[in-house]
Amino acid sequence: MLHGTQILGSAQMRAIESAAIAQGTVTAATLMERAGQGVVTAILDRWPDLAQAPGQAVVLCGPGNNGGDGFVVARLLAGRGWQLRVLLAGDPAALPADARRNHDLWRALGPVAPLSADPAPVTADLAVDALFGIGLTRPVDAFAPALSALRAAPRLVAVDVPSGLCADSGQVIGAARLAPADLTVTFHRAKPGHYLSQGPGLCGHVALVDLGLADAGQGPPTTLIEGADLAKPQGHKFDHGHVMVVAGGPAQGGAARLSARAALRIGAGLVTLCPPQAALAEHSGPPDALMRRPLDGSEDLERLLGDGRVAALCLGPGCGIERAASLLPPLIRSGRAAVLDADAITALAAQADPFRGLHDRCVLTPHAGEFGRLFPDLATRLDEPPQTGPAFSRLDAARQAAARTGAVILLKGPDTVIAAPDGRAAIHSATDLPWLATAGAGDVLAGMIAGLLARGWPALEAASAATLVHARAARRFGPGLIADDLPDQLPFVLRDMGA
């Protein structure tokens, strides 16, 4: 079972707020007050010393409701003894009603200065960016000097998202170079942009504030992957599934061995490595728990698949493109759960009708280059620098790819996205693992997914849980990691997760 929290796009979040207001369960003014109070609470939770020694703060307020949140923050900090400097981008008369109300409440306590086009660096103890929030649709290039000036403060807090960052994609809209926040305080649910693309590097620590809203009818869910129950129940080895890993020809077997070892370690009941007869002797070394069977062509695969106990296959790692192309038809016809990685993806992309026969128990695991070969139109959209928001995101791309193929798509990267054909999706963000960018790491991930598929996990959950465990294994080993180290870390990671 996969564990995580739901995240919401900007349109979903606005719909939830609007529905609550329309139903009379809360007012917009109350939501703004709760948001501002939540920001202050998050600041003091993050830096408890600030509660004991109020200092100087600068709050940059924008022309919309995000600016209204900023006025609430200023008023509440002032009530705690802080000295405030409040700046407004735009005309107070043009503020939305609730933002204007909070502007006026602040004006009863202190002045509001117009935002300068060329502000001096902020020298306060705390800076709050409440310029633009999740509704941003245009570049903030004109405000780049002001946002850069905020970064001179020792603590920079962003309200909802750092201004200029698309809450749906994690991309910066326009050409502005944004100052990274130390803390981003968001409301009700985190947003995809906090975890995708440039988001993790710009948001800093993300704190979530409960506004007292309820989720309802917001479409297929997106889950931020946080945990998984990987315990094995009692049973026979075949109760935990048989994985077949197809290996390549002579001197090409290393990748498949990594996959096979990972499938064993993640808990598959048994794993068979299937190289061509000419390469079989190369695979005679340990682990002895791994079985070996020769597989020369499609007829051999069809014969091996005659064993109904074969629960999942892994095709692609070190396989060779031509060999993968010849084995794809019988594999897909079999309807077995399968992981298609590396050479299998390249072979698939070369076919005239590449997605014919794929099903929701297939998991495709492309990196960015392979994704571009399979879905060149989607890759082109991802590569275009966004000038308007919401920008096309990796989450959008993976969802569209899954719908197009009928299979589960795992789009690899530090911000891995997994999507199912029915629109459900999951995100795993691990920007702290540069050592995971090493040859063979993806082969290990493919084997882990195949092992969980064999154990009976649904494809989306198997890919998501494997991604989580894969990252934790890399984090546990740390610097100097090579792919061979990952399977050996799995017992320790599984034990730590209570498996």
Q: Comparing 146 with 375, which gets the higher pLDDT? A: 375
Which of 192, 214, 236 is the last residue in one of the domains?
Answer: 214
Are 209 and 236 members of one domain? Answer: no
Domain assignment of residue 162, yes or no: yes
Are 232 and 210 members of one domain? Answer: no
Are 394 and 256 members of one domain? Answer: yes
Are 210 and 292 members of one domain? Answer: no
pLDDT value at 337 more than 70 = yes
Domain assignment of residue 221, yes or no: no
Taking residues 172-194, what's their average pLDDT? 95
Q: pLDDT per residue over 87-129, tens digit each? A: 999 999 999 999 999 999 999 999 999 987 667 778 899 999 9
Domain assignment of residue 220, yes or no: no
260, 447 contact by CB (below 8 A):
yes
Strands 126-130 and 112-114: unpaired
State the CATH number of the domain containing residue 170: 3.40.50.10260
Asked if omega into 287 is within 30° of 0 (cis), the reply is yes
156, 188 contact by CB (below 8 A):
no
Are 36 and 184 members of one domain? Answer: yes
| Percentage of the chain lying above the pLDDT 70 cut | 99
Taking residues 203-210, what's their average pLDDT? 98
Taking residues 470-482, what's their average pLDDT? 98
Give the pTM: 0.96
Domain assignment of residue 9, yes or no: yes
Are 243 and 182 members of one domain? Answer: no
Domain assignment of residue 419, yes or no: yes
Are 177 and 231 members of one domain? Answer: no
In angstroms, rounded to a whole number, what is the distance separating the alpha carbons of residues 299 and 33? 68
Taking residues 54-63, what's their average pLDDT? 96
pLDDT score for 117: 65
Rg of the chain over CA atoms, in angstroms? 26
Taking residues 240-255, what's their average pLDDT? 96
Domain assignment of residue 219, yes or no: no
User: How high does pLDDT run on average in the chain?
Assistant: 96
Are 195 and 234 members of one domain? Answer: no
Are 192 and 248 members of one domain? Answer: no
CB contact set of 285 (below 8 Å; sequence gap of 6+):
none
Domain assignment of residue 161, yes or no: yes
Q: pLDDT per residue over 397-418, tens digit each? A: 999 999 999 999 999 999 999 9
Q: By CB neighbour count within 10 A (0-12 exposed, 13-18 middle, 19+ buried), where does 380 fall?
A: exposed
Which of 214, 236, 266 is the last residue in one of the domains?
Answer: 214
In angstroms, rounded to a whole number, what is the distance separating the alpha carbons of residues 263 and 461? 16
pLDDT score for 118: 66
Q: pLDDT per residue over 423-471, tens digit each? A: 999 999 999 999 999 999 999 999 999 999 999 999 999 999 999 999 9
Are 62 and 167 members of one domain? Answer: yes
CB contact set of 495 (below 8 Å; sequence gap of 6+):
none
Range of the domain at 138: 2-214
Q: By CB neighbour count within 10 A (0-12 exposed, 13-18 middle, 19+ buried), where does 43 fall?
A: buried
Domain assignment of residue 323, yes or no: yes
State the CATH number of the domain containing residue 276: 3.40.1190.20
Are 252 and 207 members of one domain? Answer: no
Which of 191, 214, 237 is the last residue in one of the domains?
Answer: 214
In angstroms, rounded to a whole number, what is the distance separating the alpha carbons of residues 275 and 67? 62
- How many independent structural domains does the chain possess? 2
Dihedral Cα 121, 125, 130, 136, nearest 10 deg: 60
Q: Comparing 337 with 284, which gets the higher pLDDT? A: 337
Are 355 and 241 members of one domain? Answer: yes
Taking residues 179-185, what's their average pLDDT? 96
